């Protein structure tokens, strides 16, 4: 019953979200209805958390996986999956749903942050600041300069100005700092707990703080090389790293995957969005003939398969059989050259577990990879870079339900995937992150590629 009640709230909030894209002057308000400004955070939070997560798990995931040579499909079959992506036909509406959805639905988070209802809602506001920063970082990474300081004012400002991307990054980091202070220093006797209204952390404030610090670490690392030519920005970043070190900040670690589940059920438009988009039709989970079209088209690239089956590295990576599964007639996992005519294997049991499975927002493994990079570069003073790197790989195997066996030992001296054997430690970190997040958070792997160039030797799609 709790799951159904949560889903009813989310469906209701889908309608509420529309208010952020329309002018108050143009909308006829029901005098007997609820005014959005009067809705308490308890009502808004479940939908505010769930709606942007669906875009992360589906549209953003698919774009990243196709752009960084993780996913392929038989582009020469009748439906021509990924024809546009492999041809790089980038029009004004190319994956426009990312912009449209994130810009609109994060308005619910802004509504919570600016809430004036009576009561101490510091936990709701702090968590919403952190969660909104998570999505606005992606908007900046994908689009550069975007509206930010004047967003979500509805009819009061229909044409918000664009802000500089660097300034937005700095502001997001500052907001995360403020959110953590707000949650740590609020009056514990009067603060209203989020409880089950929080469909991500279940009201666990310490986990929200770890999540906030991990997002902040990702942004600081992403700016660091660029900041070497900007003394003012470099000073800001150095001060932020000093703060992390002085306070012995806690980050997401082993077992701290950030997931969301508002009560997914095996029904149309109520399943886990990843499963419904790339898996099976409602009521048909596991029945091969009832796979959705996206599942039938999405599969691994030859580049990825050969990287994991030992062809490229001489090290067999057991995660391959959890990330992908054979189709009818296949005896082993098969890849396809992007733009080629072969039919790749399908998405596997490590990614498709059930219609009700949790959705991933940020994995513990990604956070551990970030910590490894920061320690290796001397930016974080606590921890061992190699140990953090190998803990991230272990966490990846565990999340996918794969036995790691002797992989850490076997791969340790291998270039690009092992710590000791890689002359470029950053390449090993980013390449392992590419393997780990393929299917789970494709957009993150693509952004990392545009920043670092890893994985290296990534083939271009075959044009036809």
Contact 301, 70 (CB under 8 A): yes
DSSP letter assigned to residue 120: B
User: Is residue 205 located within the same domain as residue 284?
Assistant: no
User: Is residue 292 located within the same domain as residue 243?
Assistant: no
Which of 285, 318, 347 is a domain's end point?
Answer: 347
Which of 291, 318, 347 is a domain's end point?
Answer: 347
pLDDT at 13: 39
Q: Report the CATH number that the domain containing residue 17 is assigned in CATH.
A: 1.25.40.390
Q: How far apart are CA 93 and CA 83, in angstroms?
A: 15
> Does residue 198 fall inside a structural domain?
yes
Domain with 297 in it: 273-347
Number of domains the chain is built from: 2
User: Is residue 228 located within the same domain as residue 101?
Assistant: yes
> Does residue 369 fall inside a structural domain?
no
User: Is residue 192 located within the same domain as residue 334?
Assistant: no
pLDDT at 444: 98
> Does residue 388 fall inside a structural domain?
no
Please return the burial class of 83, using the count of CB atoms within 10 Å of its CB with bins 0-12, 13-18 and 19+: middle
pLDDT above 90 covers what percent of the chain?
Answer: 75
Q: Is the pTM of this model over 0.85?
A: yes
User: Is residue 251 located within the same domain as residue 293?
Assistant: no
Among 6, 1, 11, 5, CA closest to 260: 6
pLDDT confidence tier of residue 6, bands split at 50, 70 and 90: very low
pLDDT at 296: 63
Which of 310, 329, 347 is a domain's end point?
Answer: 347
* pLDDT tens digits, 161-197: 999 999 999 999 999 999 999 999 999 999 999 999 9
User: Is residue 330 located within the same domain as residue 207?
Assistant: no
Which two tokens mark 229? 């030519």
User: Is residue 252 located within the same domain as residue 289?
Assistant: no
> Does residue 190 fall inside a structural domain?
yes
Average pLDDT of the residues in 111-125: 95
Average pLDDT, whole number, for the chain? 89
* pLDDT tens digits, 36-61: 677 899 999 999 999 999 999 999 99
User: Is residue 12 located within the same domain as residue 42?
Assistant: yes
- Give every CB contact of residue 82 below 8 A, 6+ residues apart in sequence: 66, 71, 72, 73, 75, 297, 338
User: Is residue 76's pLDDT more than 70?
Assistant: no
Give the Cβ contact number of residue 115 at 10 Å: 18
pLDDT confidence tier of residue 34, bands split at 50, 70 and 90: low
Q: For the chain, how many helices (H) and strands (E)?
A: 19, 8
Q: 271 φ, ψ to 5°?
A: -75, 165
> Does residue 228 fall inside a structural domain?
yes
Residue with tokens 């995660």: 319
> Does residue 146 fall inside a structural domain?
yes
- List helix spans (H) across 338-384: 364-376
User: Is residue 168 located within the same domain as residue 199?
Assistant: yes
User: Is residue 115 located within the same domain as residue 172?
Assistant: yes
pLDDT confidence tier of residue 294, bands split at 50, 70 and 90: low
Using alpha carbons, list the distances in angstroms from residue 149 to 20, 51, 152, 166, 184. 15, 22, 9, 13, 25
Average pLDDT of the residues in 103-124: 95
User: Is residue 194 located within the same domain as residue 240?
Assistant: yes
> Does residue 285 fall inside a structural domain?
yes
> Does residue 291 fall inside a structural domain?
yes
User: Is residue 255 located within the same domain as residue 279?
Assistant: no
Give the Cβ contact number of residue 96 at 10 Å: 11
């Amino acid at each position: 019953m709790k799951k159904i009640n949560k889903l009813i709230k989310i469906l209701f909030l889908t309608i509420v979200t529309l208010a952020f894209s329309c002018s108050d002057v143009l909308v006829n308000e029901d005098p007997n209805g609820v005014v959005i400004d009067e809705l308490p955070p308890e009502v808004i939070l479940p939908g505010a958390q769930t709606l942007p997560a669906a875009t992360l798990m589906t549209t953003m995931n698919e774009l990243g996986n196709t752009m960084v040579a993780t996913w392929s499909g038989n582009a020469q079959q009748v439906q021509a999956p990924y024809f546009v992506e492999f041809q790089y036909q980038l029009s004004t509406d190319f994956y426009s749903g990312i912009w449209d959805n994130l810009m609109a639905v994060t308005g619910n988070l802004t509504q919570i942050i600016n809430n004036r209802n009576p009561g101490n809602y510091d936990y709701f506001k702090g968590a919403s600041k952190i969660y909104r920063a998570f999505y606005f970082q992606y908007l900046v990474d994908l689009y550069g300069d975007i509206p930010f300081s004047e967003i979500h004012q509805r009819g009061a400002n229909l044409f918000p100005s664009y802000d500089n991307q660097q300034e937005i990054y700095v502001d997001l980091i500052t907001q995360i700092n403020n959110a953590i202070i707000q949650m740590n220093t609020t009056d514990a006797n009067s603060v209203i707990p989020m409880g089950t209204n929080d469909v991500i952390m279940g009201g666990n404030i310490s986990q929200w703080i770890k999540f906030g610090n991990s997002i902040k670490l990702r942004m600081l690392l992403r700016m660091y090389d660029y900041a070497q030519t900007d003394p003012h920005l470099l000073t800001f970043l150095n001060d932020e790293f000093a703060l992390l070190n002085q306070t012995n900040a806690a980050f997401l670690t082993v077992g701290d995957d950030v997931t969301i589940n508002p009560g997914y059920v095996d029904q149309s438009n109520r399943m886990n969005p990843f499963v419904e988009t790339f898996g099976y039709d409602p009521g048909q989970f596991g029945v091969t003939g009832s796979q959705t079209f996206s599942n039938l088209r999405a599969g691994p690239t030859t580049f990825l398969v050969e990287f994991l089956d030992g062809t490229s590295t001489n090290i067999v990576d057991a995660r391959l059989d959890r990330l992908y599964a054979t189709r009818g007639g296949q005896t082993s996992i098969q890849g396809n050259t992007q733009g080629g005519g072969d039919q790749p294997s399908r998405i596997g049991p490590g990614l498709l577990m059930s219609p009700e499975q949790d959705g991933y927002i940020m994995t513990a493994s990604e956070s551990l990879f970030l910590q490894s990079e920061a320690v290796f570069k001397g930016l974080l003073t606590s921890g061992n870079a190699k140990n953090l790197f190998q803990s991230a790989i272990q966490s990846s195997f565990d999340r996918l339900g794969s036995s790691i066996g002797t992989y850490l030992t076997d791969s340790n001296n291998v270039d690009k995937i092992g710590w000791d054997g890689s002359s470029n430690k950053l390449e090993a970190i980013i390449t392992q992150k590419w393997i780990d997040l393929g299917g789970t958070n494709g957009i993150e792997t693509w952004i990392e590629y545009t920043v670092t160039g890893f994985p290296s030797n990534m083939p271009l799609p075959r044009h036809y």
